[in-house]
Amino acid sequence: MPNHDGRSEHHHHGVTAETLTGHRGSGRSVNLFSFVAVMAGIEVIDIVLTLRLQRVGNHDGIIQRLSDDVSRVSNGLFAFFLLASIVILFVSRDKTPRFVLPMLTTYLSVASLNVLFNIASMFLQPLSLHQSQINPLIDLILVFSSVTLIFSLWYELIDITSPTQAIEFPHRGREGEPPIQWFDYFVVSFYSNSTFGPTTESIKSRKVQFLMMVQVSLALMVLVVLVARIVKAS
């Protein structure tokens, strides 16, 4: 809502270079560097998981090769976005440029494809003595963490770019209540992975509903198939 000098209320409260504001100045925003920090966590998990899979995987298999290629692209995009974020901080002193949004969407798309290939690689690998020694429970934890972080960023991006409220958080965001932050979306993503759906949050966007269906499907695949492999390996 504009104030007496023509600036929006959101801008008046200090939109800075690291803040990507929401649709129509809705008051919701993405902090660019907290977003990149979560991306860094995704990258660390991806590198560890990729190295583990390469130790026991079939390097001649098409799924493994695709997984390695997508992982390299994801690492390259992250390095590029990290540098771009540093440049934006010093060059764009008013607010984050709008071209950052498609950049973040591109990275998340590649990261999502990457975790999908990693899951496929784990399913297609034969259960061997090498795998039983490596302990597939660690792979389960890594995949669970990666999926949770990736979808938390998806939910955050969709929520701020939606013309209407995509996710309704109880006791968040309204006047006198704590602001909505990335951790709130992380909680939604964690619940979707562990309980196969949100708890107190209301999902109002079909995009979020579709992504939640995809996430729950991945969680079921990981939990059912990998747990079965862990039991068989023990």
pLDDT of residue 59: 54
| Residue 13: predicted pLDDT | 42
Which pLDDT score, from 0 to 100, does residue 1 have? 39
Query: Which tokens sit at 127?
Result: 């259960």
Report if pTM > 0.85: no
**pLDDT attached to residue 162:** 82
| H helices present in the chain, as ranges | 9-12, 32-56, 62-91, 100-124, 129-134, 136-161, 182-194, 206-221, 227-233
Q: Is residue 146 classed as helix, strand or coil in its secondary structure?
A: helix
Where are the domains positioned within the chain?
16-233
Rounded CA separation 143/49 (Å): 8
pLDDT tens-place values along the chain, 234 residues long = 344 333 333 333 444 445 666 554 455 677 777 888 898 899 899 888 888 777 765 555 676 677 777 778 888 888 888 887 777 767 765 566 667 788 888 888 888 888 888 887 777 765 554 444 456 778 888 888 999 999 999 999 898 888 778 888 887 766 777 888 889 899 999 988 887 777 778 888 899 999 999 998 888 888 777 667 666 666
